[in-house]
Structure 1
């Protein structure tokens, strides 16, 4: 993997400081691999492209299936506390997407189809190949976007989705923020400071060095191109198609000091206004930055378990 180049670092910092909810990597601890299956390399076949490796998956625990998808430049290790809490009752499929966390990037030809649609198709193919019965998809940031996309475009394939601090139209929020607040336009320093970025993403100091270190395990070309796709993507018109339970968990401190908690919550409610109220609900972590699993792990686990219990995830 190559390290992030300076222009890309500046872009990521600018987006992060603007409160645009871009994920950076973090590793709270290594998952207990003694209970995990051997990592699986998932593939997908596009209509006009060759087979490509899209992610690696580690399977932990037994029971109804739950998919855990991390964010941009994150590895599956960000789900450590979630795995510990759920593995006794659920079969957890812990993803690391191509190009992130040491996983090889997508093949060149796969990029013609786009990273986001390729991953959506690959996840659906994985569900079919593994014969999973309507698993719940839980995603953080980029993973949250993918969870929303699956709920909106393939609700028949999943049992529900939890979107953790992700947005359906990241670029729209960023454009709105920079247009309305000139202070944010000058928020990024001339020289990228990875520790400052880590601190902006988590209050929990034990995660800061881990976030900084893991940033360099990911492929800079992948991160830059995926960032570009996220900035152009807009799921809002499709949210009305959601027909499965969806929970969005927002981090109200993520925009600090440039956005108030009230502004962050309003941004979420505005961006997800098209999601049918009978299927979609919100909950907000008042004292958490972007990595809710770092700042409010008990609260996050409680929200996830309540959702899973309420919506009766079942095995085949």
Structure 2
């Protein structure tokens, strides 16, 4: 667990620092200074998932990699591949939203001891929105949009400054947005990991990939004393104590059940080699996959955009009047 905590803290601080640096870039550029793109960390493109999906459509249709936000597409591909191998470990180790949700849940547990129980059928129904959102985006972007339309969007003024648009969206939220965010915070306090479990379409996409992962959480019945502690620890409400192998794609491999089990009956299990995997080795392997993926993207020219600086400063002063295409 300690490696997972370190990873969570590192990536949370990385995203906060990247956000601050990008804010400085936007402010100085709008003030008339020359845009210093060394302040723009490509990891901020993590928050442009729709742009990355359009970039994927262009790549599939034309074979051309996104030249405007290449890091966004690279991160999408790395995340999807990581889910094929390591299930949804990205959610419990790297995603800043997952980390913030976990911090919020920890504070909630210190102040409130009650939990809101609801039938499992309700739980399954609540999961539908994220899959509906994912299917909508797949239908509109990957299926209906042509390669030419995808390229047109990628080079549009809106997409070029979509990172700045996203920053403005959070820095100057509308009254409706404040209500939505406030409602999500309240729901996360009442129902742990509400966004991650029921609304995140990115998580839904990773769920599909996780189905094919050779890794799973496995309970050894001969060691289990049926105390039910693992069920209480699971943030996604999986009934671990009633299963031998956890095949649910909702499992984020957070290792809570493994650490909490008093009889050590729960382990990571590799179905291909039929061997157990230590949690620390899992976390390190997941980290290495992301490091290798990012380095590969940098070396291959699919991380920093050579084109974006030519247009970004030009369109940024028009940010308030550039509409969504």
| TM-score scaled by length of structure 1 | 0.26
Higher helix share: 2
Length-normalised TM-score, structure 2: 0.25
**Larger strand proportion of the pair:** 1
Whichever of the two has the greater Rg, that structure is 2
